[in-house]
Amino acid sequence: MEAAAGGKRAYSIIVPTYNERLNVALIVYLIFKHLPDVNFEIIIVDDGSPDGTQDIVKQLQQVYGEDRVLLRARPRKLGLGEFRTPMKQKVTGADVVTGTRYVKNGGVHGWNLMRKLTSRGANVLAQTLLQPGASDLTGSFRLYKRDVLEDLISSCVSKGYVFQMEMIVRATRKGYHIEEVPITFVDRVFGISKLGGSEIVEYLEGLVYLLLTT
């Protein structure tokens, strides 16, 4: 990795939040603890949380510095993913490194049988029909090269949950080099998950949309 000159960071870690005051403190602490020698910044994108998430972020800025922890506040809820464990990163020539829960050394914790069954069914369906080039379509832990991210973002139209699928499928179709690293996913400790019961319908709609457009 080349050294970043003039305060420019080698990595930007983007953390979307909505009512995550304890989780945001935890994730910032863990990132700084586990990446002591990495030139990174954390960008927290908060969708106008009413629980004081942004106050916590401001306190974290006092601890770690306003140049390392950045707050981008959005006025209202626009949709987000879940973040839990820090991504173990592999140095390769890859354009996209994506975390996967479904391989050896990866895994989930705190899922009941129903959730595992749904997850497996969705996965088999997508792998068979879509051949997406990644084993975990909806995992939120991804590392993109900047120009690759800009290219993909400009060609993705989905919002929310399906966005994660569209990004990785389009990356595969465009011929970008994708590498996978195992991640572990411990179900949320604080707060409540914002993913609702319409998850399955949304997933299937996303699948059909991607079949037709990619």
- Of 154-183, binders to another protein (CB under 8 A) are 173-176
Residue 8 or 76 having the CB closest to another protein: 8
Instruction: By CB under 8 A, name the one of 48, 85, 156, 195 that touches another protein.
Output: 85
State both tokens at 154.
């400009």
1 binds another protein, rule: CB under 8 A: yes
Q: Which residues 106-135 are close enough to bind another protein by CB under 8 A? A: 106-111, 113, 116-117, 120-121, 123-125, 128-131
Q: Which residues 14-53 are close enough to bind another protein by CB under 8 A? A: 14, 22, 25-26, 29-30, 43
- Are the CB atoms for 205 and 104 separated by under 8 Å? no
Q: How far is the CB of 178 from another protein (least distance, A)?
A: 13
Instruction: By CB under 8 A, name the one of 59, 66, 157, 198 that touches another protein.
Output: 59
Closest CA to 39 of 63, 15, 61, 6: 6
Residue 144 or 203 having the CB closest to another protein: 144
103 binds another protein, rule: CB under 8 A: yes
200 binds another protein, rule: CB under 8 A: no
Q: How many residues bind another protein (CB under 8 A)?
A: 73
Instruction: By CB under 8 A, name the one of 36, 76, 104, 197 that touches another protein.
Output: 104
Instruction: Give DSSP secondary structure letters for 149-187.
Output: HHHHHHH----THHHHHHHHHHHHHTT--EEEEE-EEEP
Q: What angle do CA 32, 1, 176 make, to 5 degrees?
A: 100
State both tokens at 119.
């997850």
CB-facing half-sphere around the CA of 54: CA atoms within 13 A: 12
73 binds another protein, rule: CB under 8 A: no
- Cβ-count burial of 150 within 10 angstroms (0-12 exposed, 13-18 middle, 19+ buried)? exposed
The CA distance from 89 to 81, in Å, is: 19
78 binds another protein, rule: CB under 8 A: no
Residue 148 or 168 having the CB closest to another protein: 148
The CA distance from 204 to 126, in Å, is: 9
Instruction: By CB under 8 A, name the one of 150, 157, 159, 198 that touches another protein.
Output: 150
Residue 102 or 161 having the CB closest to another protein: 102
